[in-house]
Amino acid sequence: MKIVIPDDYEGNFTDSAQLARLEGLGEVAHFTERPRDEGEMAERIADAEVILTVRYQTDLKTTALLDAASKLRFISVWGTRPRAVDMKRARKRGVSVAVTPGAGSPSVAEHTMMMVLALAKRLPFQGPAMQAGAWERVQGVELLGKTLSVIGFGHIGSKVVPMARGFGMEVLAWSKNMTPERAAKEGARAATLDDCMHCDFVTIQLHVTPETKGIISRERIAGMKPGAFLINTSRAALVDMDALLEALREKRIAGAGLDVFEPEEPLPGDSPFRTLDNVILTPHVAAHTEGAVEREARIAVDNVEAFIRGEPQNLVFEDA
């Protein structure tokens, strides 16, 4: 079995136990350098029967690369959805695709709460002021008794709930298929999306779909409390970023914590978001922890092993 990791540019598998597991399953080609062009990538995967692709680095959706792998039978995606795979073409060719659901969810939930705490205690302002030699005391926000909403109640959103409740917060939750019983089981209260937007802290944990793209609209941002904070560790396409920028500039909301950006990443150096003192920005690293990386790698290899064993797991069938 020829197994190819074409895009491990951060060296997550280098000298690892998971790479050794793969080598016990077949012949492994492991690439850590970026290819010069699409042609070189096509050469890497030409003989692959299994591709393990890391963090959507290889575009098997809008290029001809999927067709270049004529022997391909299985794609193991290090990630929660097959964002870079043309699932229609994969299905037509009989290529199975698996993902790593929930692997990064503890870390992303922690990152969400880190941003809640940092915004509440005014760290975007007070940290740089102290480093600059100033001594300016700005009043923070106590979390006890405040409301926090979880918009999207999957692997990540459900983990945010007990963390927030640990600080004495009341948690409201919304998702497309939310029920009062499901929310209550996790310690939250089911609410409408508009009610969730009226909380003191609004956290977003949704996947991007045609239905959810832009769901945090200009109108919904305008309806937030003047003292509210918005935290997005999911996908920037869920939010009207222009409307958010205006609300932050004009202090119509208190602040935001952003780990994801549109229309492009990396965030340009001249982005106006970089100039604001009521925003915490991180470079899409919520799931980039040692725990999450270990789980992602292990589950991605588990998926390969299960496929070879004839018992495929974590399969997906629709485009992300």
pLDDT at residue 320 is higher than 90: no
- Cα 289 to its chain centre, rounded Å, is 13
Model confidence, pTM: 0.94
Summarised one tens digit per residue, pLDDT across range 99-150 is: 999 999 999 999 999 999 999 999 988 989 999 999 999 999 999 999 999 9
User: What pLDDT is stored for residue 100 in this prediction?
Assistant: 98
Residues 91 and 168 in one domain: no
Residue 263 pLDDT > 90, yes or no? no
Beta strands in the chain (DSSP E): 2-5, 27-30, 50-54, 74-78, 96-98, 147-151, 170-174, 189-190, 201-204, 229-232, 255-258, 279-281
pLDDT value of position 264: 86
Identify the three-state secondary structure at position 286. Answer: coil
Q: Is residue 320 part of a domain?
A: no
CATH number of the domain residue 83 falls in: 3.40.50.720
**What is the total count of domains within the chain?**
2
Considering the candidates 83, 235, 288, 295, report the single residue annotated as catalytic: 235
The 10 Å Cβ neighbour count of residue 158 is 23
CA gap 61, 43 in Å, rounded: 17
275 within some domain: yes
Q: 19 pLDDT exceeds 80?
A: yes
d(CA 40, CA 30): 14
Among 30, 155, 165, 284, which one carries the catalytic annotation?
284
Domain hosting residue 136, numbered range: 105-281
Has 111 been annotated as catalytic?
no
Residue 27 lies in a domain: yes
Residues 65 and 193 in one domain: no
Is 311 a residue of the active site? no
22 within domain boundaries: yes
Whether 198 is catalytic: no
User: 35 and 46: one domain?
Assistant: yes
| Same domain membership, residue 191 and residue 93 | no
Q: State the average pLDDT for the chain.
A: 97
193 shares its domain with 144 = yes
Question: Out of 265, 274, 309, 318, which one is annotated catalytic?
Answer: 265
